[in-house]
Chain A
Amino acid sequence: MDYSTEVRRRFAAAVPNWVDHSDGVVVVAEAEDRTLGLWVRCHMRVVDSTIASVAFEVFGCPDSIAASSLIAERLSGRSIKTLDQIDVRRVAVELSIPTEKLGKLLRMEDAVLACKALVDAD
């Protein structure tokens, strides 16, 4: 497999970086696709309707690990109310992730939206 420079950089730098529980609400949701070999758990801390921080646990390929790091960065600071979707195609383009791996990024989106649903229900 060939990986973009940015995927390689993010993959090499990936270390556990969980959200703190200092204030606000922390929700956790999972998604997986065994046929794609991906499992992801999203941890999201929301303070006053704003996403304060996001972290992913990822069992998956380097592209998935790199994408989770970029998605976490992009979500931080956004309003939870406007979070209807993540543009994972844009993430894929930005990281030069091949289209055949888009399904894995969609599972990450599932986990994020499941977190939003938990916040909405709270």
Chain B
Amino acid sequence: MDYAATTPVDPRVIEAMVQCLGPDAVFANAASTHGLGLVAKGLIEQARSDIAARVGAHADEIVFTSGATESNNLALKGTFGEELPHNSRLLTTRIEHKSVLDSAEQVARRGVAVEYLVTDACGRVDLDALASTLQAKATALVSVMHVNNEIGTWQEIEAIAALCRAHGALLHVDAAQSVGKLPVLLEDWGVDFCSLTAHKICGPKGIGALYVRRGRRLAAQLHGGGHEHGLRAGTLATHQIVGMGASYALAEPASEMPEIERLSQRLWAGLAAIEGVARNGSAATSIPNIVNVRFPGVDGESLRLALADLAVSAGSACNSADVEPSYVLKSLGLSDVAAAGSLRFSIGRFTTESEIDRAVERATEEVSRLRSLAPNAPNWCLS
């Protein structure tokens, strides 16, 4: 129930990766010019092509990184390199992943003006407000995630890209949660930079990529070898890259999402039967594999411990160790108590109907038990 945090590696992906591990495998350094190095390079370039094909890009626009966090850092910090552009303004939202928000703070310390776009109660960017801001203020970069990792809300990237293009701003998109769930058409949409990862779609952890549109420039953040067009130094992790390529080749939304949508509807139907339960975000503007639910009258910390056996999350896995309520849910207007009393259920390729039913049963039991411990709780506990 925590596929938005990470996913199990698909056995077919493992099979592809194993061909790059062990003394008789393709373990050579892909930068080596000998025969074994060229074999490794061939596997890497095949993976690069498979990844590019999944996101509507050219293979030479894919730069491998350690994951979406590094990609987000590279896109934001790399745009505002050693010399700040004349229009050194960054627009983003308050519901981005921490790796975008923290990178935005870093560039702000260097003198970049950072502003936060208005989002509605479901987390959607207000396009009129974006247009007005771009019209009024010269902007170098807009950074918006395709799908929010806590509530599943998707943004209208094509429309946002059109506005950015019309006003001379570059667009960076964090697509960590959308690949494999929604079609991603980076070239057609006019996206300039896009962060990608493998481990959200049954690929390995520790590998990701940044899409850099042809003709766009970034300042490298890692130096020492000139790998990846000089944008990201370091020996390429052949097995990881091959795993990422295999996971992208397998992640076809049209074939996978109908079953996930059916399970998601079953999950929400079951949870909605619990008195007072409400959904954070909207099914109409969310991908189906993420269902974020608030349970009024139940303390969030207690709910998380009570349902520890379900492996559900309070929100982003990056923040779940913290007892603070989700900053994403608070940005949407929820109170501290309501945000803390919310859980993210996220499902994926290997989720079964019986797991859905078990989750509903356990949530129903534990919410009832915890509410019974404070039957006369005042209204602020019920918000």
Q: Which residues of A, 1-53, contact B by the 8 Å Cβ criterion?
A: 1, 3, 8, 11-12, 14-16, 32, 34, 37, 39, 41
What is the interface residue range for chain B against chain A?
A: 20 to 34
- A3 and B369 CA atoms in complex are apart in Å by 19
In-complex Cβ contact of A61 among B301, B369, B375 (8 A)? B301
B336 cross-chain contacts in A, Cβ below 8 A: 37
Interface of A: prevailing SS:
mixed
Q: Which residues of B, 305-351, contact A by the 8 Å Cβ criterion?
A: 305-306, 321, 323, 336-337, 340
- Is B374 close to A, CB under 8 A? yes
- Is B273 close to A, CB under 8 A? no
- A12 and B369 CA atoms in complex are apart in Å by 10
Question: Is B302's CB under 8 angstroms from A62's CB?
Answer: yes
Question: Is B378's CB under 8 angstroms from A39's CB?
Answer: yes
Question: Is A59's CB under 8 angstroms from B299's CB?
Answer: yes
Shortest beta-carbon distance from B321 to chain A in Å: 8
Shortest beta-carbon distance from A97 to chain B in Å: 13
* Contact string against A for B residues 184-205, beta-carbon threshold 8 Å, 1 for contact and 0 otherwise: 0000000000000000000000
- A18 and B380 CA atoms in complex are apart in Å by 23
Question: Is B373's CB under 8 angstroms from A16's CB?
Answer: yes
Question: Is B305's CB under 8 angstroms from A11's CB?
Answer: yes
Q: Which of B369, B372, B374, B378 has the most CB of A within 10 A?
A: B374
| CB < 8 Å A-B pair total | 55
Shortest beta-carbon distance from A41 to chain B in Å: 6
- Is A108 close to B, CB under 8 A? no
* Contact string against A for B residues 346-383, beta-carbon threshold 8 Å, 1 for contact and 0 otherwise: 00000000000000000000000100111111101100
- Whose C-beta in chain A lies nearest to the C-beta of B380? A34
- A16 and B372 CA atoms in complex are apart in Å by 6
In-complex Cβ contact of B373 among A32, A37, A58 (8 A)? A58
- Whose C-beta in chain B lies nearest to the C-beta of A61? B301
- Is A111 close to B, CB under 8 A? no
Interface size for A (C-beta < 8 A) is 20
- Is A65 close to B, CB under 8 A? yes
B321 cross-chain contacts in A, Cβ below 8 A: 1
Q: A1-B323, A37-B340, A59-B381 are in contact. Are A11 and B369 (CB under 8 A)?
A: no
In-complex Cβ contact of A65 among B297, B337, B373 (8 A)? B373
Shortest beta-carbon distance from A118 to chain B in Å: 17
In-complex Cβ contact of B376 among A12, A15, A41, A60 (8 A)? A41
Shortest beta-carbon distance from B116 to chain A in Å: 25
In-complex Cβ contact of B302 among A15, A39, A57, A65 (8 A)? A65
- A79 and B337 CA atoms in complex are apart in Å by 37
Question: Is B302's CB under 8 angstroms from A37's CB?
Answer: no
Question: Is B372's CB under 8 angstroms from A59's CB?
Answer: no
Shortest beta-carbon distance from B5 to chain A in Å: 17
A12 cross-chain contacts in B, Cβ below 8 A: 306
- B residues near A (Cβ < 8 Å) are 297, 299, 301-302, 305-306, 321, 323, 336-337, 340, 369, 372-378, 380-381
29 contacts between A and B (CB under 8 A): A1-B301, A1-B305, A1-B321, A1-B323, A11-B302, A11-B306, A15-B373, A16-B373, A16-B375, A34-B380, A37-B340, A39-B377, A39-B378, A39-B380, A41-B374, A41-B376, A57-B374, A57-B377, A58-B373, A58-B374, A59-B299, A59-B374, A60-B302, A61-B299, A61-B301, A61-B302, A61-B323, A62-B301, A65-B373
10 cross-chain pairs, A with B, having the tightest CB-CB distances, nearest first:
A59-B374, A61-B301, A59-B381, A59-B377, A57-B374, A62-B305, A16-B372, A62-B302, A60-B299, A39-B381
